[in-house]
Amino acid sequence: MPDHLSALQLILSGDPALLAIVRLSLGVSLAAVALASAIGMPLGALLALTHFRGRAVLVVLLNAMMGLPPVVVGLALYLLLSRAGPLGELGILFTPTAMVIAQTVLIVPIIAALTRQTVEDLWVEYHDELRAMNVGALGRMTTLLWDARFSLLTALLAGFGRAAAEVGAVMIVGGNIAGFTRTMTTTVALETSKGNLPLAMGVGAILIVIVLAINAAAWGTRVWSQRVTG
Amino acid sequence: MGHARLVAAGDGVTMRAPISDLPMVLEDVSLRRGAAAILDRISLTITPGPPTLLIGPNGSGKTSLLRLCMGLVTPTGGRISWGGRSDPAPTRRAFVFQRPVMLRRTAAANVTYALAQAGAPHAQRTGRAAALLERVGLADLAHRPARLLSGGEQQRLALARALARDPELLLLDEPTANLDPAATRAVEEIVTSAAQSGIKIVMASHDLGQVRRLAGEVVFLARGTLCERARASEFLDHPATPEAQAFLRGDLVI
């Protein structure tokens, strides 16, 4: 099985081009997770704690947006960021920045929707106690987000998994430029279509191992935290 | 203490600033869920003094009455005022639930949280939290995660959190219902010392022994109505209403 062997060799030899691709992929996806958390978590908590007309519609919409097709998000951003588009002057199309934005758009709904559910469940438990302590609206949000911190890890993981695995959005707004905007997923797509299966398989394997390692670390954190904080 | 006082016509003494939650006045307060009356036209004035124990059979409305007193539920009829104000925001009152919710932090952090919510200056919180934990006998467990404490310890922590609000009025909903005798004694000692420090206690209980140990006066509820209010010894020895007589005999009051 020479294909397998060469994939393994690529990994073991620490090919610099391959390492750059891995680094960019992780950098883009982690930045997107950070950005999407900063937006999605307060948004989800706000939605969990407020009542207004049309809230149910918004919740359903948000849940549905968890399934946004990456290529559609990529296309929409492409139209916004292209030279002729309304944000064309920024000149960020085909840069890692555009890729971070695309993945952020993609996973904000995931993080917000999962946060809303988690915070809403915890609010049922905390409701009376926080009201008896006269905790204001902002305090309720921050308290519930903080006390749900280990459950919210799951939301982060879901977001990261989605960001790291998608290919459509980064392909369209990043342009898959070698050494600049080429990620693991776009590499797999490109190398497969070129027939260079060893490299495609090697990169695919690395992607899976990384996702596995991050999930294992998060799972460990959660188990540990439950033992430590109850 | 020592603040300007002003006698309002009719309903007793009203304190002028700083903001006070006493007297708490319930006028014809009712609470209905659909067709069922949970509480029916209850009038009650709570002023500073020895502990008031709220007793009555299960389902008589003790918990609902306490929640109304805290402002956690709005009555469907009648009026409640705290220190003359009808705004239900709890300023100088605190609540201890039958099953308190522990924040997912350490015991000390639970108390500093309550202090922060009560507006204690940042610099004082750590010191005051330590003093409060000492007061409830949890100084050794300050850095233990609150949710890993035993039931009795959690209830004492809930008391520390409530005392952190520097309350004039402390409402407790059967705080010892799930506790063993040793833990019950610890909680009762804290409640007694709080009462001695001038905090008005209003506490629901189903335990007549506890009523004997703690009560200054008794408010007896049955079927959502206030049947009787009397000094504890008087109530225990000479209950006036047939419902109270039956309850003290150990009959089921339906």
> Residue for token digits 């014809």?
B28
What pLDDT score does A230 carry?
67
**Residue B254 within any structural domain of the chain:** no
**Residue B188 within any structural domain of the chain:** yes
What pLDDT score does B1 carry?
38
| pLDDT tens-digit readout, A108-133 | 999 999 999 999 999 999 999 999 99
* Burial readout B147-171 (b: 16 or more C-beta within 10 A, e: otherwise): bbbeebbbbbbbbbbbbbbebbbbb
- Distance (Å, whole) CA B64 – CA B173: 10
CA distances (Å), origin A167, targets A11, A26, A175, A194, A222: 21, 13, 11, 17, 29
| pLDDT tens-digit readout, B32-60 | 998 889 999 999 999 999 999 999 998 89
Interface membership of A224 toward B (CB under 8 Å): no
Q: B13 falls in which pLDDT band (50, 70, 90)?
A: very low
**Contact yes or no for B114/A133 (Cβ under 8 A):** yes
| pLDDT tens-digit readout, A55-94 | 999 999 999 999 999 999 999 999 999 999 999 999 999 9
- Between positions 124 and 153 of B, the ones with CB within 8 A of A are 145-148
- Distance (Å, whole) CA A141 – CA A135: 10
| 3-class SS of residue B222 | strand
Higher local confidence (pLDDT), A53 or A17: A53
**Contact yes or no for B166/B92 (Cβ under 8 A):** yes
Q: Provide the CA B195 distance to its chain's centre, in angstroms.
A: 11
Average pLDDT of chain A is: 91
| pLDDT tens-digit readout, B204-219 | 998 899 999 998 999 9
Which ipTM did the prediction report? 0.86
- Between positions 6 and 25 of B, the ones with CB within 8 A of A are none
Query: What percentage of chain B carries pLDDT values higher than 90?
Result: 83
**Residue B167 within any structural domain of the chain:** yes
Q: A5 falls in which pLDDT band (50, 70, 90)?
A: low
**Residue B23: cis peptide before it, omega within 30 degrees of 0:** yes
- Tell me the one-letter amino acid at B25: V
| 3-class SS of residue B126 | helix
**Residue B51 within any structural domain of the chain:** yes
Residue range of the domain that includes B215: 5-249
What pLDDT score does A13 carry?
80
**Helix spans in B26-121 (H):** 62-70, 107-117
**Residue B33 within any structural domain of the chain:** yes
Interface membership of A142 toward B (CB under 8 Å): no
- Distance (Å, whole) CA A104 – CA A76: 13
- The CATH number for B57's domain is 3.40.50.300
**Residue B213 within any structural domain of the chain:** yes
Q: B15 falls in which pLDDT band (50, 70, 90)?
A: very low
Asked whether the beta carbons of residue B103 and residue A143 sit closer than 8 angstroms, the reply is: yes
pTM over 0.90: no
* Whether pLDDT at B226 is above 80: yes
Chain length of chain A? 230
The nearest alpha carbon in chain A to B100 belongs to A129
What pLDDT score does B4 carry?
39
Query: What percentage of chain A carries pLDDT values higher than 90?
Result: 79
* Whether pLDDT at B8 is above 50: no
Residue range of the domain that includes A134: 2-229
Q: A9 falls in which pLDDT band (50, 70, 90)?
A: confident
* Whether pLDDT at B185 is above 80: yes
- Distance (Å, whole) CA A168 – CA A72: 8
Distance from CA of B189 to the nearest CA of A (A): 23
Beta B169-173 vs B13-15: how paired, if at all?
A: unpaired
Interface membership of B97 toward A (CB under 8 Å): yes
**Residue B127 within any structural domain of the chain:** yes
| pLDDT tens-digit readout, A41-54 | 999 999 999 999 99
| pLDDT tens-digit readout, A93-110 | 999 999 999 999 999 999
As for how many domains chain A has, the answer is 1
Contacts of A147 in chain B (CB under 8 A): 103-105
As for how many domains chain B has, the answer is 1
What pLDDT score does A113 carry?
96
- Distance (Å, whole) CA A44 – CA B121: 30
Mean pLDDT within A176-201 = 93
Structure tokens at A123: 């609010």
- Distance (Å, whole) CA B243 – CA B227: 8
- The CATH number for A198's domain is 1.10.3720.10
The nearest alpha carbon in chain B to A124 belongs to B101
- Distance (Å, whole) CA A8 – CA B233: 86
Asked whether the beta carbons of residue A133 and residue B114 sit closer than 8 angstroms, the reply is: yes
- Distance (Å, whole) CA B74 – CA A34: 41
What pLDDT score does A6 carry?
65
**Residue B193 within any structural domain of the chain:** yes
